[in-house]
């Protein structure tokens, strides 16, 4: 036998990135070198003490395992890259849309602001208290009975005496009761998706002044 042909099918290498192709080529070279050394060992072994079948099988099995793991890693890398591309395409459709996320900020724009809450169970009474940056109460709202889940509210930008306050950032608190018991409730803030930001193999949603968030932080798309 004058040469050892590669047993790898490389037709799929075109789908790999340049670093991945380099890694795959290095793996193929190592695989071929192993086979060359094994055949050389077989040719030059002592006829009186030939290599045991079990030993040869063990070496082949080890190489097959390493090769299989490398192939699996390459395939997983392709899947991760593909998932990232799919996620980016899906996320791009969210640009310009409002989303509900955890937080108690209110952005008053043109005299209107929106917020929400997430009720663990149905409540008999839900109360919203809107405050300025100094903690001064500007307005309270009684939303009445609400079912479990997401609840939305709107603020008209007025204080307790009906005066309009300037556009800007405000905050709010939520209280909910059922009978004589307090209901577990979380405030939700509304943000508009303005852009996508790449972070490693994934994308984050840019919400402007609210910063960037992961998809998993989105409670609801409005």
Determine, yes or no, domain membership for 1: no
This model's pTM is above 0.85: no
pLDDT for res 192: 92
3-state class (DSSP) for residue 56:
helix
Q: Which of 63, 92, 121 is the last residue of a domain?
A: 92
User: Residue 9's pLDDT is what?
Assistant: 52
Same domain, 207 and 114: yes
Task: Determine the angle formed by the axes of helices 53-92 and 18-43, rounding to 10 degrees.
Answer: 170
Q: For 19-23, what is the mean pLDDT?
A: 57
For residue 133, tell me if it sits in a domain.
yes
Domain containing residue 120: CATH number: 2.60.40.4070
Both 157 and 204 in a single domain? yes
Of 36 and 44, the structure prediction assigns the larger pLDDT to 36
Residue 208 in any domain: the answer is yes
The tens digit of pLDDT for each residue in 140-168 reads 999 999 999 999 999 999 999 999 999 99
Residue 119 sits in the same domain as residue 184: yes
Q: Is 4 inside a domain boundary?
A: no
Please say which residue of 57, 92, 127 terminates a domain.
92
Q: Is residue 3 part of a domain?
A: no
Domain end (from 92, 116, 147): 92
CA angle, 99 then 103 then 107, to 5°: 70
Express each pLDDT in 37-95 by its tens digit: 666 766 665 555 555 555 655 655 665 565 666 665 666 565 555 555 566 666 678 88
- Determine whether 19 is exposed, middle or buried from the number of CB atoms within 10 Å of its CB (0-12, 13-18, 19+): exposed
The confidence score (pLDDT) of residue 5 equals 40
Residues 32 and 111 in one domain: no
Does 2 map to a domain? no
Looking at the structure, tell me whether residues 77 and 103 fall in a common domain.
Answer: no
pLDDT of residue 7: 43
Claim to verify: residue 125 and residue 19 sit in the same structural domain: no
User: Are 102 and 205 contained in the same domain?
Assistant: yes
Domain membership of residue 84 (yes or no) is: yes
Are 138 and 216 found together in one domain? yes
Task: Look at residue 3 and tell me whether its pLDDT is greater than 70.
Answer: no
pLDDT value at position 166?
A: 96
130 and 41 belong to one structural domain: no
Cβ neighbourhood burial of 7 (10 Å; 0-12, 13-18, 19+) = exposed
Reported confidence tier of residue 129, pLDDT bands at 50, 70, 90: very high
| pLDDT at residue 16 tops 60 | no
Do 143 and 169 share a domain, yes or no? Answer: yes
Residues 173 and 216 in one domain: yes
- Full domain range(s) for residue 75: 11-92
In a domain, 107, yes or no: yes
Q: What pLDDT sits at residue 6?
A: 44
pLDDT of residue 36: 72
- Average pLDDT, integer, range 26-43: 65
CB-based burial, 41-57: b 16+ in 10 Å, e otherwise: eeeeeeeeeeeeeeeee
Q: What is the pLDDT of residues 171-215, one digit of tens each?
A: 999 999 999 999 999 999 999 999 888 887 778 899 988 899 988
Q: How many CA atoms lie within 13 A of 109 on its CB side?
A: 8
pLDDT of residue 27: 61
Looking at the structure of the chain, the number of domains it has is: 2
Q: Are residues 55 and 102 in the same domain?
A: no
Average pLDDT of the chain, as a whole number: 78
Higher confidence at residue 92 or residue 19?
A: 92
DSSP letter at 52?
P
> 220-221 and 212-213 as β-strands: parallel, antiparallel, unpaired?
unpaired
């Amino acid at each position: 036998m004058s040469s050892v042909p590669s047993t790898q099918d490389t037709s799929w290498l075109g789908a790999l990135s340049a670093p991945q192709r380099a890694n795959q080529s290095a793996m193929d070279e190592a695989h071929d070198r192993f086979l060359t050394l094994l055949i050389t060992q077989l040719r030059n072994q002592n006829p009186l003490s030939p290599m045991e079948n079990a030993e040869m099988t063990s070496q082949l099995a080890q190489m097959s395992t390493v090769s299989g793991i490398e192939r699996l890693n390459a395939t997983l890398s392709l899947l991760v890259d593909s998932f990232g591309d799919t996620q980016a395409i899906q996320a791009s459709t969210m640009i310009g849309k409002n989303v509900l996320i955890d937080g108690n900020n209110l952005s008053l724009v043109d005299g209107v602001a929106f917020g929400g809450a997430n009720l663990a169970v149905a409540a008999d009474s839900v109360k919203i208290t809107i405050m300025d940056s100094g903690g001064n109460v500007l307005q309270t709202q009684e939303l009445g009975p609400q079912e479990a889940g997401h609840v939305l509210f709107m603020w008209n930008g007025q204080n307790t005496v009906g005066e309009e306050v300037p556009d800007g950032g405000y905050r709010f608190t939520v209280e909910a009761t059922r009978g004589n018991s307090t209901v577990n409730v979380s405030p939700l803030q509304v943000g508009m998706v303005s852009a996508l930001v790449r972070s490693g193999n994934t994308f984050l949603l840019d919400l402007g002044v609210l910063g960037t968030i992961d998809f998993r932080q989105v409670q609801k798309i409005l």
